[in-house]
Amino acid sequence: MGSISRGRNLGPGAGAGALQVPCGRIHQIGALALIAATFLLTRAFDRLSCGLSYGGLASVASSAALFDRAGSLFWPDRGYGSRLDLKIYVYEEKEIDGLRELMRGRDGRVSPDACVKGQWGTQVKIHQLLLKSRFRTINKQEADFFFVPSYVKCVRMMGGLNDKEINKTYVKILSQMPYFRYSGGRDHIFVFPSGAGAHLFRSWATFLNRSIILTPEGDRTDKRDISAFNTWKDIIIPGNVDDGMTKFYGSNVVQPIPLSKRKHLVNFLGRAQGKVGRLRLVELAKQYPDKECVPVILSDQVELPFQNVIDYTQISIKWPSTRISTQLLEYLETIPDEVIEAMIARGRQVRCLWVYAPETEPCSTMVGIMWELQRKVRRFHQSGETFWLHNGSVVNRDLVEFHDWRPPVPLP
């Protein structure tokens, strides 16, 4: 298989035998004007080609610094580039035997509409948005990444597949993907939208330990010895927000009540599930029924979305989970209203990153995901089961060239 490289061709240089033309003052002024015009036009085209542009930020002091005058969100230039330029291949439901089961269950009765709400909805939304994305390619040879669609959390909860069937089906589909074997899975993307993460696929540690996992919860082991999240290869994504709660989808979002008219201090969003810290919050609510709600992070090991551009100290509070007591409520009561108002205002500026809208929007979850993926693009892929010869051809252990690999292929 030949490789495709992207680069910029340099024009012919002025060699020793090139014609020399005298350069006067007018020529110098013209050259400077041409350079300035080229710079401005290049920046303008970069803005047009993508809603998010780089900002060269070493750190973000406040959320206000995240946006330019045009309202576009800045993204650090280091490691990302100045504009989005990547290609993603999305496996088709009928292309791989077993994908349909992971999306609709063994009997095909689970519908995407039934899975689009709640935390599981990210599996459906990311898939559907990628199908319409301008970064999608139908040419596997030019793809930077391969997206493997699956609604497995929803399918499992609705009785479409059990744990044993899920594990067997994942292994079956992976064995039909030569490109997965080619890279060892490093350029393949999977979405696991619940606290269990990739543990839904029991053999994830064997087969997906190099792949990119998108998940909203990176601090969970779910009573297992190891977390399926790896901060160096995986991406934390925002949890799903139902479309009816976002302005993008035409909803009349309820406006927040001014602080002076709010009668509750804090509110707990979630379920106790027998967890010590959450049970303490429930007890506090019983002791202080008039003090029930301000969003405070009470997860010590939490990983947060888009930490490369968002300074969470400007929009949130993180409190030790070991100190959940009346001390927490007393602390929250001491914060002046104007400080809370300022944090809320900064939060509103970046809340667009929690909306699963198309990447054609100036700011959305999908744009953030695309930037994070672009940082992981590799020009060259290989695994312990791929080899190459003097002519650049990639072969397996039996010296069979890549274009002749036929499923099922041995998994790396």
159-212 tens-digit pLDDT: 999 999 999 999 999 999 999 999 999 999 999 988 788 888 999 999 999 999
Residues 85 and 137: beta-carbon distance below 8 Å: no
- pLDDT higher than threshold 50 for residue 47: no
Q: Kindly report, residue by residue over 391-404, the tens digit of the pLDDT.
A: 999 999 999 999 99
Same domain, 125 and 137: yes
Same domain, 315 and 375: no
Between strands 394-395 and 387-388, the pairing is antiparallel
Residue 278: domain span: 265-291
Looking at the structure of the chain, the number of domains it has is: 3
Same domain, 274 and 342: no
Q: Encoding tokens for residue 344?
A: 């809320």
Q: Measured between alpha carbons, how far is 251 from 246 in angstroms, rounded to an integer?
A: 6
CA-only gyration radius of the chain, Å: 25
Q: Is residue 14 part of a domain?
A: no
Confidence class for position 321, pLDDT limits 50, 70, 90: confident
Q: Measured between alpha carbons, how far is 201 from 167 in angstroms, rounded to an integer?
A: 5
Q: Is residue 184 part of a domain?
A: yes
Q: What is the mean pLDDT of residues 232-258?
A: 73
> What per-residue confidence (pLDDT) applies to 385?
86
SS3 at position 187: coil
* H/E run at residue 348: helix 337-350
Same domain, 185 and 325: no
Same domain, 303 and 343: yes
> What per-residue confidence (pLDDT) applies to 66?
61
Same domain, 185 and 330: no
Q: Is residue 284 part of a domain?
A: yes
Q: Report the percent of the chain where pLDDT is more than 70.
A: 67
- pLDDT higher than threshold 50 for residue 369: yes
Same domain, 138 and 284: no
Same domain, 117 and 129: yes
> What per-residue confidence (pLDDT) applies to 59?
34
Q: Kindly report, residue by residue over 262-285, the tens digit of the pLDDT.
A: 666 555 556 655 666 667 766 766
- Mean of the per-residue pLDDT values of the chain: 77
Query: Which position has the higher pLDDT, 52 or 203?
Result: 203
Q: Cis before residue 408, ω within 30 degrees of 0?
A: yes
Final residue in a domain of this structure, among 310, 330, 353: 353
SS3 at position 245: helix
Q: What is the mean pLDDT of residues 60-65?
A: 45
Q: Is residue 206 part of a domain?
A: yes
Rounded to two decimals, the pTM is 0.76
Same domain, 229 and 279: no
Q: Is residue 213 part of a domain?
A: yes
Q: Is residue 196 part of a domain?
A: yes
Same domain, 176 and 96: yes
Same domain, 298 and 362: no
Confidence class for position 350, pLDDT limits 50, 70, 90: confident
- pLDDT higher than threshold 90 for residue 380: no
Same domain, 232 and 317: no
Q: Is residue 115 part of a domain?
A: yes
Q: Is residue 316 part of a domain?
A: yes
Confidence class for position 61, pLDDT limits 50, 70, 90: very low
Q: Kindly report, residue by residue over 113-151, the tens digit of the pLDDT.
A: 999 988 889 999 999 999 999 999 999 999 999 999 999
